[in-house]
Amino acid sequence: MHVLEPGDPRRMGDFTLIGRLGAGGMGQVFLGRSAGGRAAAVKVVRAELAEDPEFRARFRQEVAALHRVGGEWTAPMLGADTEAAAPWVATEYVAGPSLQQVVESGYGPLPEATLHSLAGRLARALRAIHGAGLVHRDVKPSNILLTVDGPRVIDFGIARALDTVAGSLRTSTGVVLGSPGFMSPEQVRGERVTPAADVFSLGSVLVYAATGRLPFGSAELGLHALMFRIAEEEPDLTGVPPTLTALVTACLAKDPQRRPTTEQLAVLIRTDEDGPWLPAELLAELGRLAARMLTAETPPQGSPAPTRSKRRWRPVLAGVVALAAVATGTALTLLDDDGEKGPATGGPASRSASPSAEPGIPDEFVGAWEGVLDGNPELPKRVLRLEISPGGPGDKVAAYIDTGGDLQCTGRGKLVSTDADTLVVGKGQITAEVPQGRCTPLSQQTLTVRSQDVLVWESGGLTAEFHRSAGGRDAVPDQYVGVWVPANATYREKELIRITQGPVGGRLVRMSVEAAMDDGTEQYCDSTFVIGAVSPVLALSPAAYTAESGKGCRQPDAVSFTVGRDGHLLLFSMDADAEPGEYVRKS
């Protein structure tokens, strides 16, 4: 939320504008209030677009389409003027964070019961949108708001009426037609888009809500690679509850005609429409945020708010900045009582926007850390990676990947307490696991500073030394990246390991093996691995098969790689004492 600037409008139709929410491709978005006190997100079109007759025509169509959709599953339209010098449209300001905010910076992946409710309610929302003759084209977590009584689908800025003349306005205004991680194969290929594209996006959204990641990987490995995977490869559904796997798989069918319709989905997914649909702690936080928004005052009309009133209304609006951000998906900043800018953290569990927030985590702890819990640094049997992010007590600040034996368990823990030398994280919550159904959360963890780059870790009777590790999109050490084949020339054409650069937690390793069976046939096994740690070894999850011939493929245990002095890649099983496999770079 930003205060209004001198050149900003102070009124649009019946709406008094009280602050800036952000900017999008079409123009500026303001927080407004009607004469009756109803909060609204008021989108004012950019001047250069307003002068374009084709854009005006499309804007009229989309405003009319918003009328047809209604407000049960979307933010209802409260007013518009498509003929004004600066065209505008006002929709109800929805008191709720986006699904993206909840998963990434607040609550984390949603529990199974909530996922079923989300799937059913989103199916009904899309059914209403399609019934109005629209294809949304940009169904993604940041365009889905979570409220006490259900989700709301927002941002029809790139929606198109089904009867729009093909190609008439698709590129002339520069509007982006979709978000890469959630696009359908037909969108990627530039083919005709139908309501089935929204169903595919819904499948991707459900995977994200269940696991915190995208079914085809992130764009960090390259936009073209991501689009190829969407168009040609199968999704990674690791971590999706078995009760939803079949439904998600059907939504993510490459052929649009093989996907269920939103009408079929709405019938198939049974959900309790009367009871609570979100976890109790999240519902309570949403209620508090909505209450704060209702207390926001309107600044004096016709001029910026005077200095004497800043302390009255600006801190209250800061408390609901997480709600403001969802109207545009734009990165926002908070203004504290002294007018200084600070980062907007977002997420319903965030407490950093509160003037009375407790001290956060010292910088010494923030970052990625890795330690060996069993074995030794050269031959580990169990490796734990921790990623500590800023936050206050009660925030989910510690994400972890626990790799070893025949398991990989991913989870998050909330901050219990901290001081200059010690950090205490509560019992973890499992967010993903390979294989399914066998992980148990980590017990309370205590981290103590030993030096700038070393922490002592304790949990459940175990103690280990943790060292700083690489993070970000280029976390994999360059010495591992490439294509590797067996050092033994006899097997060189039968096995291949491909390691790609990317973030920890991604499926960045693929292994393909061909073997002769006793009956004379050839067995082919193609598998992928999730990277759980990058130092002192590259630790990988148990494999998940993406393709196989016959029934002879055995799921390997977790494995680790090291690179020897001769530059050879050594593969060790983390659940056995067998001799390592030795590989050389493919020439």
User: How far is residue 96's CA from residue 147's CA, in Å, rounded to a whole number?
Assistant: 5
Can you name the residues that pair with 343 across neighbouring β-strands? Answer: 333
DSSP 343-412: E---STT--TTSTTPPP---TTT-EEEEEEEEE-SSSEEEEEEEEE----TTSEEEEEEEEETTEEEEEE
User: How far is residue 425's CA from residue 384's CA, in Å, rounded to a whole number?
Assistant: 15
Q: In whole angstroms, how far apart are CA 311 and each of 18, 424, 527? A: 15, 35, 58
The gap from C-alpha 228 to its chain's centroid, in whole angstroms, comes to 20
* Contact yes or no for 29/15 (Cβ under 8 A): no
Q: In whole angstroms, how far apart are CA 4 and each of 9, 18, 47, 399, 428? A: 8, 7, 18, 38, 43
User: How far is residue 301's CA from residue 291's CA, in Å, rounded to a whole number?
Assistant: 24
The angle subtended at Cα 254 by Cα 252 and Cα 257, nearest 5°, is 95
- By DSSP bridging, strand 88-92 and strand 150-153 are unpaired
Q: In whole angstroms, how far apart are CA 104 and each of 97, 399, 435, 507? A: 11, 11, 23, 19
Query: Is the previous residue joined to 536 through a cis bond, with omega within 30 degrees of 0?
Result: yes
Query: Looking at the annotation, which residues are catalytic?
Result: 138
Name the DSSP letter for residue 74.
Answer: B
Name the DSSP letter for residue 584.
Answer: E
